Amino acid sequence: MEVFANAKINLSLDVLGVREDGYHEVRMLMQSIGLADRITLDPIPSGIMLHTNRSYLPCDARNLAYRAAELFLKETNTSSGVKMNIIKKIPVSAGLAGGSTDAAAVLVGLNQLFGTKLSRRRLCELGGTLGSDIPFCILGGTALATGRGEQIHRLPPLPKVYLVLVKPPISISTPKIYTALDQQEIACHPDTDALIEKIKARDVSGLAQEMVNVLEPVCETFEPRISELREKLLSCGAIGARMSGSGPTVFGIFETYEQAARAADAFRGRGDEVIVTSTRR
């Protein structure tokens, strides 16, 4: 069986505070995108085997896809095992939920492969124990994520728009970004309710102009090129540009594929990963 694991971008990301359990209370507008890893799942008599096309990624329980398979087999008392092959297309440690979406696709795919009929709700509960972004990755589309990011409130789909993703060749761990955030005052919060109204009104250009990610100024202290990339996307015709998640990927929104493809050309050849994709329902 073959499944696709779609990446996400954050149309906005707000942090409301630190909870008693140590997690940050967030309010994020999440959007699935076309960029996806391809995963094949084959039943084997027992155990879990994992292979990926990125030699630096672990293939044991340090890999979220492996942990998702382990959890699924235990939850469903499945005695057989699974062999998984992940073809990664999503840049790693990029703020695009690469690991989370692989785990989500494994949960959904194994449920189909073994005919176990777990509900989406149960799959989301299981996924939420492995990572806060996994429930959104299971449901996909456009949504508001609250709590530590695991509570998903679906929103109407956005009209399809095209995206240029630019990922600088650095990786800053998500915990490091949140620790740095805790040591400073948040200067500008997104108006998430107003952004939701724009989504409901299908006003993509209003939405694009008012996107805010509170982690972006923090990430900029480690990688000053974030603002340079955002400005350049805007000067190449993007109707809005922001950093996704805890970075460092910056995305620009374009109304047509041709505009996005032309803009992407202006970013190539400088050591950044440059990807043209689109939003996905």
Active-site positions read: 8, 133
Element of type H or E holding 257:
helix 257-265
Output 55 or 79, the one with its CB closest to ligand ATP. 55
Angle at 164 between CA 138 and CA 204, to 5 degrees: 70
What are the start-end ranges of the H helices in 76-191? 98-113, 120-130, 134-139, 174-182
* CB 113, min distance to ligand ATP, A: 18
Output 100 or 259, the one with its CB closest to ligand ATP. 100
204's tokens:
């993509």
Spatial distance between the Cα atoms of 125 and 129, rounded to a whole number of angstroms:
7
* CB 127, min distance to ligand ATP, A: 12
Output 19 or 62, the one with its CB closest to ligand ATP. 62
Amino acid present at 110: L
* CB 174, min distance to ligand ATP, A: 5
End-to-end CA distance of the chain: 22
Length of the chain, in residues: 281
Output 92 or 266, the one with its CB closest to ligand ATP. 92
Rg (CA), the chain: 18
Q: Which positions lie near ligand ATP, rule CB under 6 A?
A: 57, 63-65, 92-100, 102, 133, 174, 245-246
Q: Is 29 left (phi over 0), alpha (psi -120 to 50) or beta?
A: beta
Q: In what order do the strands lie in the sheet with 250-254?
A: 240-243, 250-254, 162-167, 273-278
